[in-house]
């Protein structure tokens, strides 16, 4: 039986991770190790200046899972490096509350957890379910169960075919009633539009402080992109590599003579 480490960034008690663990029980031996609090949009921390703790907690269904004071990426590192004296064939992260599309992958703790697995040479899948929309909101338990089924099917395929260990699958499932959900599409990362504003206020001592935030991000629904796929009701599956090198630009830099410019004479 394959072994699967399940984590997330919404915290160990979030409904999404419980639905994911339940769905993956059909695929392998599931161990849950996740943050004790919500780390959404916390990116990819590596905790180096304080001790990391792992403690067992019990879910409402009676399952014993593990919670850590670390970030999602810490949880995956802890699991893979043997904090629970187990080894893992696959890491699955989610089910996140809200899509992780385009440049969201740089902020997302859900995707960071999967990337951390890749850094350790373990294949990984990140799963996110779209936010609830007023006009099309299905039963949320049903929506989570459906996203869990998508994750389980993909996990089975990945374990069978063997995903390269430097590639993660970033999966986004629209939050739609099952009858309105369309098939899966293989996509590229699309373009997000953040609608953040900088809010400047003053504390009681007259010193300025700031909030960065605003409305939910939108995106450009280009064909073939993850943004476009979920906008059209498709499940989006994007293979994301951890090599961020912009290969085409290496030749441009060479043509600029940058290597000669900086040569030590
Ligand atoms: Mn989250």
Render pLDDT for 222-261 as a digit per residue (tens, 0 to 9): 999 999 999 999 999 999 999 999 999 999 999 999 988 8
Comparing 215 with 206, the larger pLDDT belongs to 206
- Answer yes or no: is 201 within a domain: no
- Answer yes or no: is 202 within a domain: no
Q: What percent of the chain has pLDDT over 90?
A: 89
Number of structural domains, the chain? 1
Domain that holds residue 12: 3-191+220-261
Phi, psi of 87 (to 5 degrees): -120, 155
**pLDDT tens for residues 41-81?**
999 999 999 999 999 999 999 999 999 999 999 999 999 99
CB 128 within 8 A of CB 98: yes
- Answer yes or no: is 203 within a domain: no
Q: How confident is residue 265, by pLDDT bands cut at 50, 70 and 90? A: low
- Answer yes or no: is 153 within a domain: yes
Distance CA 39, CA 32 (A): 16
- Answer yes or no: is 95 within a domain: yes
In terms of residues, how long is the chain?
A: 265
Alpha-carbon 108 to chain mean position: 6
Q: What percent of the chain has pLDDT over 70?
A: 98
- Answer yes or no: is 206 within a domain: no
What sign does the CA torsion over 114, 115, 118, 120 have?
Answer: negative
Describe the strand order of the beta sheet including 234-241 as a list of residue ranges.
54-58, 64-68, 29-35, 3-7, 90-97, 124-129, 167-173, 234-241, 182-186
User: How close is the Cα of 258 to the center of ligand 1, in Å?
Assistant: 41
CA neighbours within 13 Å on the CB side: how many for 191?
5
Q: How confident is residue 22, by pLDDT bands cut at 50, 70 and 90? A: very high
User: How close is the Cα of 225 to the center of ligand 1, in Å?
Assistant: 21
- Answer yes or no: is 110 within a domain: yes
Q: How confident is residue 124, by pLDDT bands cut at 50, 70 and 90? A: very high
User: How close is the Cα of 259 to the center of ligand 1, in Å?
Assistant: 42
pLDDT of residue 16: 98
Q: How confident is residue 135, by pLDDT bands cut at 50, 70 and 90? A: low
User: How close is the Cα of 206 to the center of ligand 1, in Å?
Assistant: 34
Bridge partners of 193, per DSSP, are 218
Strand positions, DSSP E, the chain: 3-7, 29-35, 54-58, 64-68, 90-97, 124-129, 167-173, 182-186, 191-202, 208-220, 234-241
Distance CA 252, CA 91 (A): 37
Question: What global pTM score does this model have?
Answer: 0.94
- Answer yes or no: is 196 within a domain: no
CATH of the domain at 25: 3.40.1210.10
User: Residue 120, Cβ neighbours under 10 Å: how many?
Assistant: 16
CB 113 within 8 A of CB 80: no
Lowest average pLDDT, out of 17-21, 61-65, 140-144, 177-181, goes to 177-181
> Rounded to the nearest 5 degrees, what angle is found at the Cα of 167, between the Cα atoms of 100 and 221?
35
- Structure-token pair, residue 66: 């593990």
User: How close is the Cα of 8 to the center of ligand 1, in Å?
Assistant: 7
User: How close is the Cα of 164 to the center of ligand 1, in Å?
Assistant: 25
User: How close is the Cα of 255 to the center of ligand 1, in Å?
Assistant: 43
């Amino acid at each position: 039986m394959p072994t699967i480490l399940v984590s997330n960034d919404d915290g160990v008690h979030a409904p999404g991770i419980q639905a994911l663990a339940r769905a993956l029980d059909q695929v392998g031996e599931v161990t849950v190790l996740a943050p004790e609090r919500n780390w959404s949009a916390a990116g990819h921390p590596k905790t180096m200046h304080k001790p990391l703790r792992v403690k067992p907690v019990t879910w409402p269904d009676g399952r014993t899972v593990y919670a850590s004071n670390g970030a999602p990426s810490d949880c995956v590192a802890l699991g893979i490096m043997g904090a629970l004296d187990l080894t893992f064939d696959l890491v699955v992260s989610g089910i996140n509350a809200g899509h992780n599309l385009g440049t969201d992958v740089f902020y997302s703790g859900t995707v960071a957890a999967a990337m951390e697995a890749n850094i350790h040479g373990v294949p990984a899948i990140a799963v996110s379910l779209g936010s609830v929309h007023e006009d099309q909101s299905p039963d949320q338990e049903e929506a989570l169960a459906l996203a869990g089924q998508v994750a389980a099917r993909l996990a089975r395929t990945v374990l069978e075919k063997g995903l390269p260990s430097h590639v993660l699958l970033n999966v986004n499932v629209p939050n739609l009633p099952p009858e309105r959900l369309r098939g899966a599409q293989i996509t590229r990362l699309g373009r997000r539009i953040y609608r953040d504003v900088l809010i400047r206020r003053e504390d009681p001592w007259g010193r300025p402080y700031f909030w960065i935030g605003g409305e939910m991000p939108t995106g450009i629904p280009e064909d073939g992109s993850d943004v476009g796929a979920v906008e059209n009701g498709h499940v989006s599956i994007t293979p994301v590599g951890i090599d961020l090198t912009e290969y085409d630009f290496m030749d441009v830099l060479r043509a600029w003579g940058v290597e000669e410019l900086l040569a030590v004479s």
